[in-house]
Structure 1
Amino acid sequence: MTAQIGQPAPLLSVSDWVQGEPANFDLLPGRVVLVEVFQVNCPGCFLYALPQAISLHQRYADQGLSVLGVATAFEDFDKNNLNNLVRLAEKGEVVGETLLALSQRGELIDGRLPYRIPFPLAMDRLNKRGDNMTDDDILSFIRARVPDFDQQPEAHQQQIRKRAQHYFQSLTYRAETFERFDLKGTPSHILVDKHGVLRDCAFGAYPELEVLLKALLSEE
């Protein structure tokens, strides 16, 4: 089942909790839940999304907010994996493009984050992808991301189809939570209210997150 805004949120599907107690929407009744979905090899996740989530956790945990971090993988599977998530949680170590970007900005100490992530961290459940993507699957994927696809010239449609086919062929795994919430990339933010209803899913920078979060915390 694909998540729908305004409907009960499907549960997160994770393989391992590497930090904190296992948690999920059904285990956190009466609390607003922010799920920060990131990749270990994602500079933007560490430059702004995770620091934002940490700040919100520090300021609103006592007011009813639970923040969860879910590391996913839809590319660079040699870096976006459980071992590197454990290194991040236990030692603050970062890898790949994240290491390069944070090093260039002088944001690491001895190659490590100068802070620890204070909320629970889990690894998205990854399943080996089979060769069973149908034409309908590919079209659904395209139409969700290219709203005017059917109005494009036939030649351009074929180009988009080929790019989508190549994209799926390059994938090794399917990440369950990433697909369950139809996320578009990382960082992404899943926001669930006190009653377990999905209120927002957003990709990328999210400056209005705190305003929405405060509104949900004030609801009965």
Structure 2
Amino acid sequence: MAKIGAKAPNLQVSTWVQGRPTNIDKEKGNVVVVEVFQVNCPGCFMHGVPEAIEVYNKYRDKGVTILGMATAFEDYDKNTVENLQKLLTTGEVIGETHRALSQYGQLKNGGQLPYKIPFPVAMDMLKKETGEKTESEMKDFIEANVPDFKTYSEKDRQVLIGRVKEYLKHKEYSAKTFEEYAMRGTPTSLVIDKKGNLRHNLFGATGYLETLVQELLNE
């Protein structure tokens, strides 16, 4: 698992859909931001991706590399490489993203993003799940995603274990980068310093991305 302060593992990529192929180890000397999103994720396109684009436009010539990574931990029929390619080439969005952005008047021409993603974008490596999870695998999943699990009461532990079993039973794929970085959801911004160490793993719309990038540029 990726740990804050330790070397950031390379992204596990199935394909680069836009831009030149690269990876974290090839960007040493730069501050690197990896903006992780799902195609079917309204918050990603209302908050996370626009914030990353703003940082890209301000700092792309100042020692900052911005990379996009689409992943899938749910809605596997919508969070596909085909829908990602459509989004990047035409701006067309689908599913919950389309519904939410339409509701807030943030689409143009009936269904397209009002902006273009300017940085390289990859698709996470997805591995098809087969068979039931072992007790050990469930334990690893809980430890990665609920670090304070041991502080739960016995009753709450059993409730959580039941939920995890149900989730894993219906889980069709493992998203390799998403799981290696123990992300809690999307949007997530991974912020890596000039030496290639993971410094921040930001979930949700924090508004702190530019401040953190500036701090790492000044080190």
Deviating above 6 A after TM superposition, structure 1's stretches of 4 or more consecutive aligned residues are: none
Unaligned runs of 5+ in 2: none
Worse-matched range after superposition: 143-152 or 94-103: 143-152
Alpha-carbon displacement from aligned partner over 1:154-208 (angstroms, at most 9, x marks no partner):
3332221111000011110000100111111101111111111111111112222
- Confirm or deny that 1:28 pairs with 2:31: no
The question of whether the paired residues in 1 share the 8 Å contact of 2:132 and 2:169 is answered with no
Unaligned runs of 5+ in 1: none
**Superposition RMSD in Å:** 1.4
| Aligned pairs for 1:147-166 within 5 A | 147-166=147-166
Against the structure 1 CA distance between its residues 151 and 62, is the aligned structure 2 distance closer, same or farther, given a 3 Å change threshold? Answer: closer
Aligned to 1:136: 136
Against the structure 1 CA distance between its residues 152 and 27, is the aligned structure 2 distance closer, same or farther, given a 3 Å change threshold? Answer: closer
Following TM superposition, by how much is the alpha carbon of 1:150 offset from its aligned partner in structure 2, in angstroms? Answer: 3.5
| Aligned pairs for 1:150-189 within 5 A | 150-189=150-189
Worse-matched range after superposition: 70-79 or 207-216: 207-216
Aligned to 1:64: 63
Against the structure 1 CA distance between its residues 88 and 149, is the aligned structure 2 distance closer, same or farther, given a 3 Å change threshold? Answer: same
Aligned to 1:42: 41
Worse-matched range after superposition: 153-162 or 107-116: 153-162
* TM-score, length basis structure 2: 0.95
Alpha-carbon displacement from aligned partner over 1:60-98 (angstroms, at most 9, x marks no partner):
111111100000000000000100000011000101000
Aligned to 1:105: 104
Following TM superposition, by how much is the alpha carbon of 1:144 offset from its aligned partner in structure 2, in angstroms? Answer: 4.0
Once residues 138 and 79 of structure 2 are traced to their aligned partners in structure 1, the CA distance between those partners, rounded to angstroms, is 24
* TM-score, length basis structure 1: 0.94
- Confirm or deny that 1:115 pairs with 2:104: no
Following TM superposition, by how much is the alpha carbon of 1:151 offset from its aligned partner in structure 2, in angstroms? Answer: 4.3
Once residues 76 and 148 of structure 2 are traced to their aligned partners in structure 1, the CA distance between those partners, rounded to angstroms, is 31
Aligned to 2:10: 11
Once residues 21 and 147 of structure 2 are traced to their aligned partners in structure 1, the CA distance between those partners, rounded to angstroms, is 37
Indicate the percent of aligned positions where both proteins have the same amino acid: 50
Following TM superposition, by how much is the alpha carbon of 1:141 offset from its aligned partner in structure 2, in angstroms? Answer: 2.4
Once residues 158 and 194 of structure 1 are traced to their aligned partners in structure 2, the CA distance between those partners, rounded to angstroms, is 43
Once residues 26 and 97 of structure 2 are traced to their aligned partners in structure 1, the CA distance between those partners, rounded to angstroms, is 32
Letter of the structure 2 residue corresponding to residue 21 of structure 1: R
Once residues 165 and 151 of structure 1 are traced to their aligned partners in structure 2, the CA distance between those partners, rounded to angstroms, is 20
Worse-matched range after superposition: 39-48 or 126-135: 126-135
Worse-matched range after superposition: 208-217 or 13-22: 208-217
Q: How many equivalent pairs are there?
A: 218
Q: Secondary structure at the match of 2:61?
A: helix
